Structure 1
C-alpha cells in the first residue's frame, strides 16, 4: 500500500513539476530573423569562382590558337 501511494505521488510530481518550472521562467521573446540567409553569400562565392574560371581559361588558352579571326 505504501509503495502504491509513493508511486502515485511520484507520478503526480513528475506530471506537475514541469509546469511549475515553466511558470517560474520569464517570457523569452522570439529571436530576430538573420540578416542574411546564406543564399546571397553562396551566390557571391559562385560568381567569384566563375569569374576566376573564366580568367584562368583566358590565360591558359592564348588568342593565337583560336581558329576563328574575331578581331
Structure 2
C-alpha cells in the first residue's frame, strides 16, 4: 500500500503541473500591422518622380 502511495504522488503532481501549464499555452495574438502615412507618401513621391522622368525623356 505504501508503494502505491509513493507512486501516485508523483503522477498526481505531474498531472497537476500539466493542468497549470495549459493556461500558458497560448499567448495573446499580436496586434495587426497598420500602414502609416509615411509609406503612402513615399509611394506617391516615387510615382511622381517616375512620371517626371518619363516626361523629361519624352520631351528631349
TM-score (norm 2): 0.45
TM-score (norm 1): 0.38
**1 or 2, which has the higher helix percentage?**
2
Larger Rg: 1
